Amino acid sequence: MPESATTHPDVLEKLVSLCKRRGFIFQSSEIYGGTGSVWDYGPLGVELKKNLKDRWWRSMVRARDDIEGLDAAILMHPRVWEASGHVSGFVDPLVDCRHCKKRFRADDPRIKGEPGTPEAQCPSCGMKGTLSAPRLFNLMFKTFMGPVEDTASIVYLRPETAQGIYVNFLNVQQATRQKVPFGIAQIGKAFRNEITPGNFIFRTREFEQMEMQFFVEPGTDAHWFEYWKEQRMQWHRSLGLDPARLAFHQHTKEELAHYARAAFDIQFDFGGTLGFQEIEGVHNRGDYDLSRHQEFSGKKLEYFDQPNNRRYLPVVIETSVGADRTTLALLVNAYREEEVPGEAEGRTVLGFHPALAPIKAGIFPLVKKDGMPEMATRLANDLRPHFPVFYDESGAIGRRYRRQDEIGTPFGITVDGQSVADGTVTVRDRDTLKQERVSADRLREYLRERIEP
């Protein structure tokens, strides 16, 4: 954690309510009382998260010639998770309260005293001496493959996407004829039976990861580790996240995951009690994964370096970022409430980077007459194949602007009396509130330039 505590307010509760009301994020299976820490993305949320994932894919795969894409399956051979160390190592110690039946992590700071002894007090019901000694609990979800539910048919829902990349390392390398150093990237779902999920989409049991594994020659890994740390921080800044709310955190020996030689988190300041928290991990995984898969599968996974006529297991530098957690960072970073000069009513704004905003422009006829709705509808239809736009003719114009501010739409295009006469429209900037007159013919080009300058 960075030394300084957060100075930003807690906006999570307000965001949960805005996200539900405006269709960003709903609780899963809400009509049945909800499913624990699982969330559904509504019409605006799915666009926001997709824009984020597309941006990651573009920067990792499309814009470079040394990283290949992959989409590996969620279900994998069960031996994969023995080799990866997850069957034995992906565990949290848990304690149970015999009285209230609640379950806690053994390191829960609210537990006073040593669990399993008569002194320890339950943080939920307050009883003394009712907490069990810690037991290890594996975080992987188990299910069965095929019609027989026995131990031979157990498979796991992957707890990270990375393993799908390691087991395909040689398939991808040989198919693409990439030479080390090169990377493989994928976006996909991961599942963890988290004991203390919560804080909206910050820690959930089903989530999406965007992971890239970069395979390098042993001895060059320190260089590539630094390179990827900087690249990834730069990428987070490019999303419009406030640079003052981003920080590196180096893992201590005790914090390192079982596979890591060295690790840095990229943290974002979520404000309130959460403060600075990890959104991405950059790890030097050594040759741990490839050597374990080689050992457990009995198949050689060495890379053949033709110029030097030498075979070796590459070292892996991993960058692993949560799509949901970064979506939450975008929402927290963007949320603001402000007064509007000269107006009684304030406004709530999601100040997203225009390239990430779910809707790029609201299109409004000033009034519902004199040819304005017709011209505005025409404009909306012309723009729609190029950008997500929203046509709205209901209510006072100020109200319509505010509805778009609240969902982060960067531009408000209004068709007024002058528009019908001279073919110009006004474009209102969400953040500065400045209005500019632009020729309707130029609007597409104008928006394109302003969305991705």
Q: Which residues bind ligand GAP (CB under 6 A)?
A: 160, 162, 192, 194, 203-204, 207, 209, 211, 278-281, 318, 320-322, 324-325
Q: Which is nearer to ligand GAP, 192 or 245 (CB)?
A: 192
CA–CA distance, 109 with 123 (Å, rounded to integer) = 9
Write out the two tokens for 99: 């009285």
Neighbours of 370 (CB within 10 A): 15
Nearer to ligand GAP, 153 or 196 (CB): 196
CA distances, 43 to each of 14, 102, 143, 330, 412 (Å) = 19, 36, 31, 17, 20
| Distance in Å, CB of 268 to ligand GAP, minimum | 10
Which CB sits closer to ligand GAP, 101 or 258? 258
User: Closest CB to ligand GAP among 85 and 123?
Assistant: 85
Q: Which H helix or E strand runs over 103?
A: strand 103-105
CB of 92 to ligand GAP, least distance (A): 12
Instruction: For residue 215, give the nearest of 105, 289, 133, 298 by alpha carbon.
Output: 289
Residue 130 or 204: which CB sits closer to ligand GAP?
A: 204
The answer to whether the CB of 196 falls within 8 A of the CB of 203 is yes
Q: Where are the beta strands (DSSP E) in 221-368?
A: 246-250, 262-269, 276-286, 303-305, 310-312, 315-322, 335-338, 347-350, 361-365
Spatial contact of 215 and 180, defined as CB atoms under 8 Å apart: yes
27 versus 204: smaller Cβ distance to ligand GAP: 204
DSSP per residue, 47-59: HHHHHHHHHHHII
Q: How far apart are CA 87 and CA 90, in angstroms?
A: 6
Q: Least distance to ligand GAP from the beta carbon of 162, Å?
A: 4
Collapsing DSSP to helix, strand or coil, 66 comes out as: coil
Whether the link from the prior residue into 9 is cis, omega within 30° of 0, is no
Instruction: With beta carbons less than 8 A apart as the criterion, state whether 379 and 407 touch.
Output: no
What residue type is assigned to position 286 of the chain?
A: G
In the complex, minimum distance from the CB of residue 101 to ligand GAP, in angstroms, rounded to a whole number: 23
- 295 is written with which tokens? 């050992």
Could you identify the residue written with the tokens 């002194």?
Answer: 119
Position of minimal CB gap to ligand GAP: 322
Please identify, using beta-carbon distances, which residue of 271 and 322 lies nearer to ligand GAP.
322
By beta-carbon proximity to ligand GAP, the closer residue of 198 and 395 is 198
Minimum distance of ligand GAP from residue 25's CB (angstroms) = 13
| CB of residue 42 to ligand GAP, shortest distance in Å | 18
CB of 195 to ligand GAP, least distance (A): 10
Report the C-alpha dihedral over residues 254, 256, 259, 261, rounded to 10 degrees. Answer: -100
Q: Specify which residues 187 forms β-bridges with.
A: 210
Nearer to ligand GAP, 260 or 340 (CB): 260
- Please enumerate in sequence order all residues whose Cβ is within 8 A of that of 65, keeping only pairs 6 or more positions apart, or say none: none
The distance of closest approach from Cβ of residue 264 to ligand GAP in the complex, given in angstroms and rounded to an integer, is: 11
Shortest CB 179 distance to ligand GAP, Å? 24
Which residues sit opposite 362 in a β-bridge?
Answer: 390, 412
Nearer to ligand GAP, 168 or 426 (CB): 168
- Closest contact distance (angstroms) between CB of 323 and ligand GAP is 8
